[in-house]
Amino acid sequence: MKVLVVGGGGREHAIIRKLKENKTIENLYCAPGNGGISFDAECVDIKATNVDKMVAFAKESGIDFAVVAPDDPLVLGMADAMEEAGIPAFGPSKLAARIEGSKVFSKNLMKKYGIPTAKYEVFSNTEDAIRYIEAENTFPTVIKADGLALGKGVIIAQSLDEAKNAVHSIMEDKIFGASGNEIVVEEFLTGPEVSVLAFTDSKTVVPMVSSMDHKRALDGDKGLNTGGMGTIAPNPCYTEAHAQEAMEQIFLPTIRAMVAEGCPFKGCLYFGLMITPNGIKVIEYNCRFGDPETQVVLPLLKTDLFTIFQAVRNETLSDLKIEWADGAAACVVMASGGYPQKYETGCAIEGLDENGQSPLATVYHAGTKISDGKIVTSGGRVLGVTATAATLQEALECSYKAVETIHFEKAHYRKDIGAKAL
């Protein structure tokens, strides 16, 4: 089999290393991939968002199965385009990807089908939005751009002034471009956050091991929001009772709602949940594997990942028994100094072997490239240093021990990943 994974970050590296365990896969491609991924798959220099070029490459190269991992190509309809070209694909259709691509779509879906989420209203003009915020007069309040905004489209406003500024900058200054043509204004919820990724073929939904992301750049959950500075799995805040409540109130109702709306969801559905004093609520859906959640979830998967991908695509997920290892996983992200704002690239990375790995942990490459035979930084998030062990404490110790042996100029990482879970 020839398999293509679309994307080029730590998440894709984790997917590829798992797919490598399947012996029926002879050729593994990644587009565009990155420096570290090139040790595990053949990287193809095509942008993840170039749907036409990607499909043409897949056809020419006789790809038997495509995995579309990132949100933007999914929202652009790459999974549909692959299928239309006769290439079986893992990933939701363009219509189903709206569950992430449009917050207005996902909030209205939850309202219509009674799926617990923060109370909200949708606005397409500034005056109405501000009038509503003034009338509600409850702070903090949450303001979200409708469309994709690289994970930055959410502003938590602490006061009326901040809220007004947020509405103006999203809707008039268009800081998130056309994503801000409409906004959602919603109630601020409190409680621990849990990420649950789930395989679903639109009939059956199989949640994976739960995880905890660390979105802020600095220790103690301070600093700017990032794509994620580290993860642990499982998430100890999420009990068996929570899992049951989420299945009944959220997971099953969501996949049924998508079928009822005529856009069955097939792929990995990411539930961003908050355990509030009034029960579990959905903060957001993503139409894909989380990054860096995947880096801690897939190492605990015992069942063959490619078999699962095929079952999801063929709608035979109910025939599979998906098994997980006991124990825990921890991923510490090493980022370029300055991320998520301005940072340098091209810094040489020391402490990795000739395959970009460490003897102490698995290194998922997020932003690296090979330059003159050396591994150098090429992005904000550079490496996800990951370990699994019998306990979370041991997994964290292993990851941090490995992190201490890896160096590049101005490397930055959080020292408290998983600390609140111990």
Q: Considering beta carbons, is residue 162 or 193 the nearer one to ligand GLY?
A: 193
Site for ligand AMP in 85-144 (CB under 6 A): 118, 142
Region from 76-84, 182-190, 238-246, 286-294 binding ligand GLY, contact rule CB under 6 A:
286-294
Q: Which single residue is written with the structure tokens 């199965």?
A: 65
**Interface characters, 182-211, with ligand AMP (x: CB under 6 A):** ----xxxx---x------------------
Rule CB under 6 A: say whether 80 interacts with ligand GLY: no
CA 201 to chain centre: 19
Question: Contact between 154 and ligand AMP (CB under 6 A)?
Answer: yes
Choose the contact partner of 291 out of ligand GLY, ligand AMP, none; CB within 5 to 8 A by kind: ligand GLY
Q: Which stretch binds ligand GLY (CB under 6 A): 84-92, 284-292, 311-319, 389-397?
A: 284-292
Half-sphere exposure of 153 (CA within 13 A, CB side): 26
Q: Tell whether residue 9 is a contact of ligand GLY (CB under 6 A).
A: no
226 binding ligand GLY? (CB under 6 A)? no
Q: Does the footprint of ligand GLY cover residue 88 (CB under 6 A)?
A: no
Q: Which residues contact 366 (CB under 8 A, 6 or more apart)?
A: 9, 10, 13, 34, 291, 292, 333, 379, 381, 382, 383, 384
Kindly state whether residue 290 participates in binding ligand GLY, applying the rule CB under 6 A: yes
Query: Which residues make beta-bridge pairs with 333?
Result: 384
> Do 271 and 106 form a contact (C-beta atoms < 8 A)?
no
Using the rule CB under 6 A, is 216 a contact of ligand AMP?
no
Residue, CB closest to ligand GLY: 290
DSSP 179-240: GGSSEEEEE---S-EEEEEEEE-SS-EEE---BEE--EEEGGGEEEE-S-SEEEES-TTS-H
**Chain position carrying tokens 């080029």:** 8
Closest contact distance (angstroms) between CB of 218 and ligand GLY is 17
Binders of ligand GLY among residues 322 to 381 (CB under 6 A) are none
Task: Give the Cα separation of 356 and 39 in Å (integer).
Answer: 7
Q: Give the number of other CB atoms < 10 A from CB of residue 36.
A: 29
Give CA angle at 24 (18, 30), nearest 5°.
50
State the residue number with the nearest CB to ligand AMP: 284
Please check whether residue 421 is in contact with residue 212, taking contact to mean a CB–CB distance below 8 angstroms: yes
Binding mask 135-164 for ligand GLY (x = CB under 6 A): ----------------x-------------
In the set 223, 272, 279, 327, which binds ligand AMP (CB under 6 A)? 272
The whole-angstrom separation of Cα 47 and Cα 14 is 19
* Contact residues for ligand AMP, defined by CB under 6 A: 118, 142, 151, 154, 186-189, 193, 215, 272, 283-284
